[in-house]
Amino acid sequence: MATSDVSRGPRLGVPRGLRRERPPVGAPAARALTTPIELSAALAVARWMLVALSGLSLWLVAYALVFSGVQEHRAQHALFAQFREKLAGPQGARIGIDQKGRPIPIGEPVVLLNSAAAHLTNVVVVEGTASKELRDGPGHLRYTPLPGQAGASTIFGRSVTFGAPFARIADLKSGDTISAVTGQGRFRYEVRDVRRAGDPLPPPLPAGGSQLTLVTSEGNGWRTGWAPTRTVYVDAVLVSPKTAAAVGGHVAAVTDQENAMRADTSGLVPTIFWLQGLFLAALAIVWAWRRWGVWQTWIAGFAVVLALLWGATSSAAVLLPNLM
């Protein structure tokens, strides 16, 4: 045996045949591991489209369940200040009294609702029940009298989006109270029944009686809480004080989009314009990304894209049923 062989001694560990040899630097296998895979133009476009659609879907869900509530809260804050200012004015300028037979302007605050059992605290009701008006809060059905006046007054409210002000009215029980403040004073109603489609209608009102009906939507089964499919009604009767005098301000009939579970098609054209602006902003961002870099584009384009997304989603929301 050669001296060199003795000095090296026997090799211990894994036999040579089973050992994985490290490829030399620059070998084709090593270069294959370090070289990024280049997609074709079609696959790259498809990937970015999927990413954009996924992001847009997440934004729609976040807007419907979270950010629309922020928008409604801001609108309610402004409406409450406007409502208080009107109530503090002279008697002739109070809501529902100064109309002189003319229809109350759509979107004007007309009622303030409170009900501990339904989790309603200083909720401002606006005139009109189309989906566009119900983004700001509950709406008064325009062909019905205002609360406190003789007859059956009806108020619509959302149950899922835009703060969901009427999400808990289906929990009301017979005997629970609802307070309604209008330009004619504060009126206290007592719940008589909660009904759905097909249930018996409430009995006719006595002469000079006043009824308040709150209307919203609700889900059934696995749709509960996020995908309403039916309408729910809460009927309450005035218990104090006496019925207020009848005052002009309501109309004889309303358009179909102001009825329960109807969409407002007036939001279609604004939505298209918002989406066009979003598309142009996307092209500008791609150009800026290649010209300036990632961080510069992010800083300059984030606020613009967010504003366009907000406007487009807010306009598209009125295409959904007004009680959602």
Say what the pLDDT of residue 123 is.
98
* Lowest mean pLDDT, pick from 2-16, 34-48, 72-86, 286-300: 2-16
Question: Token pair of 92, please?
Answer: 């002739």
Asked if residues 299 and 46 have their Cβ atoms less than 8 Å apart, the reply is no
Range of the domain at 206: 61-265
Render the burial of 217-237: b for 16+ CB within 10 Å, e for the rest.
bbbeeeeeeeebeebbbbbbb
Give the N- to C-terminal CA distance of the chain in Å, as an integer.
Answer: 92
| Nearest residue to 320 via CA among 273, 275, 255, 267 | 267
pLDDT at 126: 97
Note the pLDDT tens digit of each residue in 52-96: 778 778 888 888 888 999 999 999 999 999 999 988 877 656 777
Give the separation between CA 271 and CA 177, rounded to whole angstroms. 40
The answer to whether residue 7 is domain-embedded is no
pLDDT at 34 over 60: no
Q: Which residue has the higher pLDDT, 252 or 77?
A: 77
Alpha-helix residue ranges (DSSP H) falling in the chain: 3-8, 28-34, 41-62, 68-87, 268-291, 294-317
Helix, coil or strand: residue 15: coil
The two tokens of residue 126 are 């606006």
- Residue 241, φ and ψ in degrees, nearest 5: -80, -150
For tokens 């314009």, name the residue.
273
Main-chain dihedrals φ then ψ at residue 244, nearest 5 degrees: -80, 165
- For residue 275, CA distances in Å to 84, 124, 268 come to 37, 31, 11
Assigned domain for 321 exists: no
Query: Does a structural domain hold residue 164?
Result: yes
Instruction: Return the pLDDT at 227.
Output: 72
**Distance of alpha carbon 313 from alpha carbon 57, whole angstroms:** 11
Q: Tally the domains of the chain.
A: 1
- β-pairing, 185-196 with 230-240? antiparallel
Separation of alpha carbons 82 and 79, rounded Å? 5
Residue 18 confidence (pLDDT) above 50? no
Q: Is residue 188 left, alpha or beta, with left meaning phi > 0 and alpha meaning psi from -120 to 50?
A: beta
The alpha carbon of residue 215 and the mean position of all alpha carbons in its chain are separated, in whole angstroms, by: 17
Does residue 311 belong to any structural domain of this protein?
Answer: no
Instruction: Tell me whether residue 115 is in a domain.
Output: yes
Average pLDDT over residues 35-40: 62
pLDDT band at 2 (very low <50, low <70, confident <90, very high): very low
Position 249 confidence tier, pLDDT thresholds 50, 70, 90: confident
Residue 275 neighbours by CB distance under 10 Å: 16
* pLDDT higher than 80, residue 324: yes
153 vs 53, more confident? 153
215-246 residue pLDDT tens? 999 987 665 666 788 899 999 999 999 998 88
Q: What pLDDT, on the 0 to 100 scale, is given for residue 43?
A: 73
Higher per-residue confidence, 24 vs 323: 323
Q: Is 306 part of any domain? A: no
**Beta strands at 139-140 and 120-127: parallel, antiparallel or unpaired:** parallel
Residue 309 lies in a domain: no
Domain CATH number, residue 240: 2.40.260.10
Chain CA centroid to CA 175, Å: 31
Q: Tell me the pLDDT of the chain averaged across its residues.
A: 84
Tell me, yes or no, whether 18 lies in a domain. no
Q: Give the residue, 137 or 46, on which the prediction is more confident.
A: 137
Predicted local confidence at residue 84, as pLDDT: 92
Mutual orientation of helices 41-62 and 294-317 as an angle, nearest 10°?
Answer: 50
Pick the range with the lowest mean pLDDT from 112-126, 134-148, 274-288.
274-288
The size of the chain, in residues, is: 324
Q: What is the pTM of this model?
A: 0.80
